[in-house]
Amino acid sequence: MTRLFITCALFFLTSTTATSAQAPLVSIPTHDAFFEHISLFCGKAFAGKISVDNAPGDGWKNKKLIMHVRKCAPNQLQIPFHVGDDASRTWIITKTGSGLSLKHDHRHKDGTNAESTMYGGHTLDAGWAQVQSFPADQYSKELFVKQGIPQSMGNTWQMFIYPKIFSYRMTREGREFRVDFDLTQPITPPFAPWGYKD
C-alpha cells in the first residue's frame, strides 16, 4: 500500500512538472498586442530625438540616439539604446505571467554589470495595446536609496508604440524625460551593446 502511494505520488509530481514546463505564460490581450507591435520591428534600428527634458544636462547633447529592436523571443524583447558611442544601455521587456516587466540592463564597456543596473518596473494594470507603464519596483527603489537618489523611487517608465513613432518616457514628481524614434526611417543597426554578442 505504501509503495503504491509513493509510486502514484511520484507519477503525479512528474506529470505536473512536465505540464508546468510546457505551459505557455498566461497573458492578457493588451499586453500581448503591445509586445507584438514592438516585435514587428525586430532586427531594425531607428534614430530618435529628445522631445521633452525639463532638466537637461550636457551628457546627451548633440549625440546620436538609436534604439535597436535587436532580439525577439516569445517572452522577451531586448532593445539596446545607444547614446553616441555609449552602448551601455539595453531595455529588456519580459512577459512574466502576471504582466510585463521593463528592466534597464546597464553594462561597462568590458561587459560587466554597472553598479546601477536592472532597475525598472512592472505593469500594474492592463494598459493599452499602444502604451504600457512600469512604476518602479521594490528592487529599484532600494537600489535608488542605496545610491543616494531617493527621488527616483517615484519613477514611472512608459513606452509608446504607434505605426510611425516609438517613445520612451520617464516621469516622476517634477521630472519628465522623453525620446521619440521615427519608425518610418530604419537605419543601419549599430554594433552589439556592451556585454552582448552579435
Q: In this predicted structure, what is the pLDDT of residue 159? A: 98
pLDDT of 24 reads: 60
Q: Which residues have C-beta within 8 Å of that of residue 19, sequence separation ≥ 6?
A: none
28-187, what's its fold?
Answer: Lipocalin (2.40.128)
**Tens digit of each residue's pLDDT (9 = 90 or more) over 38-90:** 999 999 999 999 999 998 877 787 899 999 999 999 999 999 999 999 999 99
Alpha-carbon span 192 to 198, nearest angstrom: 6
At residue 62, the pLDDT reads 87
Q: How far apart are CA 40 and CA 159, in angstroms?
A: 15
**Per-domain residue ranges for the chain?**
28-187
What grid cell was written down for 90?
A: 539595453
Distance, in Å, from the CA atom of 46 to the CA atom of 14, rounded to the nearest integer, reads: 47
| Rounded distance between C-alpha atoms, residue 8 and residue 75, angstroms | 34
The pLDDT score that the predictor gives to residue 57 is 78
pLDDT for 61: 78
- 90 exposed, middle or buried (CB, 10 Å; 0-12, 13-18, 19+)? buried
Q: How far apart are CA 66 and CA 181, in angstroms?
A: 8
The three-class DSSP label of residue 163 is coil
Q: What pTM does this model have?
A: 0.87
pLDDT digit string, tens, across residues 91-128: 999 999 999 999 999 999 999 999 999 999 999 999 99
What are the pLDDT digits (tens) for 172-185?
999 999 999 999 99
- Whether 121 and 111 have beta carbons less than 8 Å apart is answered as no
